[in-house]
Amino acid sequence: MKIAFVYDVIYPYVKGGVEKRIRELAVRLSARGHDVHIVGMKFWEGPDTLETDGITLHGICPARPLYAEGKRTIREAIWFSIHLLPFLKRESFDIIDCQQFPYFPCFSVKLAGVLKKKPVVITWHEVWGDYWYEYLGWKGALGKLTEQLVAGLTPNNIAVSTTTAKKLGCLGVRDDIWIIPNGIDPVQIRSVPLSPISSDIIFVGRLIKEKHVDVLVQAFASLLSGSPGLTLLVLGDGPERETIRTLMKELAIEDNILLKPFTDSHDGVISLMKSSHVCVIPSTREGFGIAALEALACGLPVVTADHPDNAICELITGKTGFLSSQTPCDLAGKMSLALQQYREMGSACRISAAEYDWDRIIPELEHYYLTRGF
């Protein structure tokens, strides 16, 4: 099959969960004999088309800034969408798998599918629903409407988690929604050495309100009253960074917390996880939660928020972590339990994460494409 993954940004020129997922799937599909292409904006110097690891990368237009005032810009999404349609009309693919975000490219892919008489697949990483209003205010009505329209473009929808699939169903999608989750490479994770920087608790993620790192810091402060030697590593960047730094100062716990920006190396993140004991991500909005899965693969129990919009909950059992309410008191209690039990929980965490091996996921995706009639 000749397969095209469509997303405006391409790994490794831009690093993120969706970019990494596409890369991992593409490499493995290519190894199984498929002709795999990734279509996005051009973030590199030189020719518009590159060959790497058996994959063809297409930079169909110059890259534009992704963010304005901390939010994804609509102009960039429209810019990419305008250039996408002529490219897809020129090329011929058996499969076009378009990522649902940033929405506008999905319409170009759909139109190309109609013109070429080819079915369209849309992969959903999150469904925002009413969160659009929190994100954009009254303009969120337009975002919610756009999301609703994209949900009706095709009967071929993939969700990365059960949580995302359920929310997609709330948008009115009644066709069969296949769940093809994100994954990990257990062999690669095992090969990464421990970091010289160690911590008792680690957080990995964007520093945004929905991650509730402020609640984590408050909960950690209460733990320090009984265990003053504990350490917390907050690994990430985002608009809440200075708020977190200010809270650390107010609570006078700066000596126990390392606030560290994202490392360019994925192995660097894994190395820091492997040098920690417990991973805490008190997020109330996660389409999947790849950082939590990677933490489990490193043998770390995960503490997360018990919230219907948090797909990390799907990864947590009594053997792999703990679910907490959004109060600092309850979170501190669950963190304390995880710190007491992390040694005996490590094996179960690694075993559960192994179920998400990319090499197990690839046959599912390949089978899905074939059953769509391509």
Cα torsion angle, 150, 155, 161, 167, sign:
positive
Query: For residue 223, which of 330, 141, 354 has the smallest C-alpha distance?
Result: 330
Co-location of 362 and 326 in the same domain: no
Environment class of 57 (CB within 10 Å of its CB; exposed 0-12, middle 13-18, buried 19+): buried
| pLDDT tens track, the chain, 374 positions | 999 999 999 998 887 889 999 999 999 999 999 999 999 999 999 999 999 999 999 999 999 998 877 778 899 999 999 999 999 999 999 999 999 999 999 999 999 999 998 889 999 999 999 989 988 889 899 999 999 999 999 999 999 999 999 999 989 887 789 999 999 999 999 999 999 999 999 999 989 889 999 999 999 999 998 999 999 999 998 889 999 999 999 999 999 999 999 877 889 999 999 999 999 999 999 999 999 999 999 999 999 999 999 999 999 999 999 999 999 999 999 999 999 999 999 999 999 999 999 999 999 999 999 887 65
CATH code of residue 90: 3.40.50.2000
Environment class of 170 (CB within 10 Å of its CB; exposed 0-12, middle 13-18, buried 19+): exposed
Co-location of 178 and 214 in the same domain: no
Co-location of 203 and 164 in the same domain: no
Co-location of 146 and 197 in the same domain: no
Co-location of 74 and 87 in the same domain: yes
Q: Please name the amino acid found at residue 243.
A: T
Query: For residue 248, which of 278, 214, 212, 204 has the smallest C-alpha distance?
Result: 214
| Reported pTM | 0.91
pLDDT attached to residue 108 = 97
pLDDT attached to residue 373 = 60
Collapse the DSSP code of 32 into the 3-class scheme (helix H, G, I; strand E, B; otherwise coil) and give the result. coil
Q: How many domains does the chain have?
A: 2
Query: For residue 371, which of 82, 119, 100, 2 has the smallest C-alpha distance?
Result: 119
Query: For residue 164, which of 313, 355, 338, 326 has the smallest C-alpha distance?
Result: 313
Question: CA–CA separation, 56 vs 77, rounded Å?
Answer: 22
Co-location of 306 and 213 in the same domain: yes
* Residue range(s) defining the domain that contains residue 328: 186-354
Co-location of 144 and 265 in the same domain: no
Co-location of 224 and 138 in the same domain: no
Co-location of 212 and 335 in the same domain: yes
